[in-house]
């Protein structure tokens, strides 16, 4: 169902009269679902736009404050909100039209995100190592959306993990895909808390749920996937995209 493809208003030849009320009800229900979907897209895009300006103003005011533990904590929270609004905006932009998929260097995105998050890593006294193939790793993706996803995965590892963080980019030639994996030690390890599948992350934001949920939807929109796996205390969050020839 799509607003660009109106539903038929006429019946096929020979449609039994007793089925016509049922057909009418189905068509009306589909029209309402399509309208609700469009309204949700508009709402989400408006929210993302409206949040950007106050977040920028709050960040500017915080940066004028004398450095302190409280200031750094508030700056981190603002950065997380900026990441979420950026991902939400990318998702709704792609939902409104076909994703703008172009060749993107996944290995370059990983290095650039690591550089962008250097202040956060230093403040948290965390070490991040980017590893990958010696040759370029080019994928089919929406560059802005992919950057937001990778940034979110690393920021989640900083927030919910401990110790060193590893970002590994590699090719799977047999599958014709490329993968980026962010690995860290979970602070929940040993506490008996089960790792939830991506599909169960909700809007509560608990344990990074909202950010990973949006990231997963962004990956799906680009024809990719996001998976979460555990190996003892180590949590690995991976994204997979179609590999393009260099």
Cβ atoms 104, 143 nearer than 8 A: yes
What is the rounded CA–CA span in Å between residue 105 and residue 29? 43
Give me the pLDDT at residue 94, please. Answer: 60
pTM of the model: 0.63
What is the rounded CA–CA span in Å between residue 237 and residue 228? 5
Give me the pLDDT at residue 199, please. Answer: 41
Give me the pLDDT at residue 210, please. Answer: 57
Give me the pLDDT at residue 5, please. Answer: 47
Give me the pLDDT at residue 180, please. Answer: 96
Give me the pLDDT at residue 137, please. Answer: 94
What is the gyration radius of the CA atoms in the chain, in angstroms?
A: 22
Give me the pLDDT at residue 145, please. Answer: 85
Residue 167, φ and ψ in degrees, nearest 5: -115, 115
What is the rounded CA–CA span in Å between residue 89 and residue 187? 30
Q: Which residue ranges of the chain lie beneath pLDDT 50?
A: 1-7, 189-208
- Tell me 217's DSSP state: H
């Amino acid at each position: 169902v799509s607003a660009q493809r109106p539903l038929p208003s006429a019946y096929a030849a020979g449609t039994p009269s007793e089925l016509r009320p049922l057909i009418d009800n189905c068509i009306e229900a589909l029209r309402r679902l399509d309208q609700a979907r469009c309204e949700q897209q508009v709402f989400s895009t408006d929210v993302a736009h409206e949040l950007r300006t106050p977040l920028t103003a709050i960040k500017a005011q915080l940066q004028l404050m004398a450095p302190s533990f409280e200031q750094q904590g508030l700056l981190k929270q603002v950065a997380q909100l900026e990441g979420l609004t950026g991902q939400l905006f990318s998702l709704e932009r792609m939902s409104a039209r076909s994703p703008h998929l172009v060749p993107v260097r996944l290995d370059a995105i990983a290095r650039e995100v690591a550089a962008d998050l250097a202040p956060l890593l230093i403040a948290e006294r965390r070490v991040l190592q980017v590893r990958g193939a010696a040759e370029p790793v080019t994928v089919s993706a929406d560059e802005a959306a992919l950057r937001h996803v990778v940034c979110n995965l690393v920021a989640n590892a900083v927030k919910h993990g401990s110790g060193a963080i590893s970002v590994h980019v590699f090719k799977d030639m047999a599958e014709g895909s490329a993968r980026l994996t962010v690995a860290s030690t979970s602070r929940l390890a040993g506490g008996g808390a089960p790792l939830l599948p991506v599909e169960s992350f909700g809007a509560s934001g608990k344990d990074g749920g909202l950010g990973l949920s949006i990231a997963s939807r962004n990956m799906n929109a680009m024809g990719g996937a996001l998976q979460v796996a555990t190996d003892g205390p180590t949590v690995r969050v991976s994204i997979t995209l179609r590999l393009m020839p260099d």
